[in-house]
Amino acid sequence: MAASPTHFSISHDHSSSTSLIHLQNQSIFSSKDSLKKTHLRFPTSSRRKSVNLQLMASGKTPGLTQEANDRTYDVTIDRENNTDVFDDMKHRFLAFKKHKYMDNLEHFKNLADAQAPKFLVIACADSRVCPSAVLGFQPGEAFTVRNIANLVPSYESGPTETKAALEFSVNFLNVENILVIGHSRCGGIQALMSMKGEPDSSSFIQNWVITGKKAKESTKAVASSLHFDHQCQHCEKASINHSLEKLLGYPWIEEKVRKGSLSLHGGYYDFVNCTFEKWTVDYEGSRGKKEGSGIAVKNRSVW
């Protein structure tokens, strides 16, 4: 049963410099009990003008192609500039639709039916490191997973979304390349290098970046005399190779690499100097190495 309309209004309380949101009438979630009048206080700047807004929640999902002008509500997010922060995003999307989607309609129709990317990209979640923007990947070319510090967990560890992406892209999409991309000034690597001892059990960040513990240890072994920033830079690159080594610990990845149907690559994006360093795992050379002693690489280049 669809929810009854719910009315919201915002008024300005001049005595306390707060905005009051009044919720009246029916519950949003189809409850038979009416929702009593409730006051929620949000701090506002005394410089801002009074805002009056009414939101009608119909309980129905609007069509995906509904025009922005048909919206039943209008929220000003950036009050200082009196603009909606989604305005630029809207214009970029409409430009994409006009100049990319419509000009390549057949391609996008094919993508609607199936995808066959050549790459799995494992990149950092850092907002400055977008693989599509930096490397020009187009829709359908790269299956991408992004996490803090572009880390790959070991095969033996518990389930993660990164491991799910590995399984899906390698075993179902049959990608031909896995590219692990690290980058300069990585906050995740800085967090890893700053840790003293074992991670704090209450910290999600520490319990994730500890995945790169071996990269930290190898960095400390050879670069402990360097400034902390240089240690982090060393670890940023070391962690990429440790992740590539971990990938070879996945039986179904190692099998495809051995047969030549899958290649593993590392990449390092320095956004300070705008350079990109790329290399490929030398599987035959890596086989002769003792487990945990690193990997052999080939085809190293800097762009």
Q: What is the pLDDT of residue 287?
A: 80
* Residue 124 known to bind ligand: yes
User: Torsion-angle region of residue 236: left (phi > 0), alpha (psi -120 to 50) or beta?
Assistant: alpha
Q: What is the pLDDT of residue 294?
A: 82
The packing angle between helices 228-247 and 187-194, to 10°, is 100
d(CA 120, CA 118): 7
Domain chopping of the chain, boundaries? 86-115, 117-302
Report long-range pairs for 7-12 (Cβ below 8 Å, ≥24 apart).
7/54, 7/55, 7/56, 8/53, 8/54, 8/55, 8/57, 9/52, 9/53, 9/54, 10/51, 10/52, 10/53, 11/50, 11/52, 12/44, 12/50, 12/51
Q: What is the pLDDT of residue 78?
A: 58
Element (H, E) at 209: helix 204-209
d(CA 145, CA 94): 26
Regarding pTM above 0.85, the answer is: no
Q: Scanning the structure block, which residue is given the tokens 């805002």? A: 51
* Residue 78 known to bind ligand: no
Q: What is the pLDDT of residue 167?
A: 97
* Residue 274 known to bind ligand: no
d(CA 186, CA 202): 22
d(CA 231, CA 239): 12
117-302: CATH topology: Beta-carbonic Anhydrase; Chain A (3.40.1050)
d(CA 48, CA 45): 6
Q: What is the pLDDT of residue 77?
A: 55
Q: Are 17 and 46 in contact (CB under 8 A)?
A: yes
Q: What is the pLDDT of residue 284?
A: 85
Q: Are 210 and 239 in contact (CB under 8 A)?
A: no
Alpha-carbon dihedral of residues 30, 33, 38, 40, nearest 10 degrees? -40
Q: Show Cβ contacts of residue 13 under 8 Å, excluding neighbours closer than 6 positions.
A: 19, 20, 41
Q: Are 173 and 121 in contact (CB under 8 A)?
A: no
* Residue 183 known to bind ligand: yes
d(CA 175, CA 262): 7
Burial 125-163, CB ≥16 within 10 A → b, else e: ebeebebeebbebeeebbbbbbbbbbbbbebeeeebebb
Predicted confidence pLDDT, tens digits, the chain (303 residues):
444 444 444 444 443 333 333 333 333 333 334 333 333 443 444 333 333 333 333 333 333 334 444 444 444 455 666 678 899 999 999 999 999 999 999 999 999 999 999 999 999 999 999 999 999 999 999 999 999 999 999 999 888 999 999 999 999 999 999 999 999 999 999 999 998 888 888 899 999 999 999 999 999 999 989 999 999 999 999 999 999 999 999 999 999 999 999 999 999 999 999 999 999 999 888 886 666 668 899 999 999
